[in-house]
Amino acid sequence: MRTIDSFLGVYVQSLGGSTGDVGQAWFLAAVREVAFFAVSARILQRWSEIKLIACATAFYTIRYLLCAIVPSAEWVVFLQLTQGLTFVIFYTAAIQNLYRIIPEEWKATGQTVLAVLFFGISGIIGSIAGGWVFQQFGGGALYAAMAVCSLVAFGYSLLIWRESGDQGNAA
């Protein structure tokens, strides 16, 4: 996620999009985030965290694969409408899962560590590795690589889901 955040604008422009298209992509993503954050509590009540994480990683895989193969910048911009299904669902479920598995006195520390990992360390690693892939092979290859990473995460989340014995309902 952080890798794609770093290279969305570069990719849109490499496909012939304008700076206005980049702005529109970020606008659409932000609007969808707000909408999904507004209903995320209801979503979390209906489904378990691990089921939501699995669904979000599946949507990430599809989103990134489509971004890798689309013929124009307009499609990449349009696909930012899936930001709510991916980022918001994943992040809110991850926080909820974190709150469920760690003791009360460690919740603030746990959320801080999650934020450092998700927004900090992964951003550094993703920017370095993503920049190298983008420079060597292009934006489509970067999105394809991220689709593969998301597919691996999806498989791992399915494994955890199966091992947890979760029947799909919120705990």
Q: Which fold has domain 2-164?
A: Growth Hormone; Chain: A; (1.20.1250)
Domain spans of the chain?
2-164
pLDDT confidence of residue 171: 44
53 Cβ neighbours under 8 A, 6+ residues apart:
90, 93, 94, 97, 157
Angle at 81 between CA 79 and CA 84, to 5 degrees: 125
Confidence band of 167 (pLDDT split at 50, 70, 90): low
pLDDT confidence of residue 170: 47
Percentage of residues of the chain with pLDDT beyond 90: 75
Instruction: Reply yes or no on whether the pLDDT at 44 is more than 80.
Output: yes
pTM above threshold 0.85: yes
Cα–Cα distance, 137 to 145 (Å, whole number)? 11
Mean predicted confidence (pLDDT) in 154-169: 83
Mean of the per-residue pLDDT values for the chain?
A: 92
Query: pLDDT (tens digit, 9 = 90+) per residue, 113-123?
Result: 988 988 889 88
Angle at 65 between CA 56 and CA 37, to 5 degrees: 30
Percentage of residues of the chain with pLDDT beyond 70: 96
Mean predicted confidence (pLDDT) in 34-48: 92
Instruction: Reply yes or no on whether the pLDDT at 126 is more than 80.
Output: yes
Segment among 27-31, 38-42, 161-165 with least mean pLDDT: 161-165
Cα–Cα distance, 86 to 13 (Å, whole number)? 23
Mean predicted confidence (pLDDT) in 145-160: 96
- Please provide the DSSP assignment of 44-105 as one string: HHHS-HHHHHHHHHHHHHHHHHHHHH-SSHHHHHHHGGGHIIIIIHHHHHHHHHHHHHS-GG
Cα–Cα distance, 28 to 135 (Å, whole number)? 26
Query: Could you say which DSSP state residue 15 is in?
Result: T
Q: Residue 130 has which token pair?
A: 């993503």
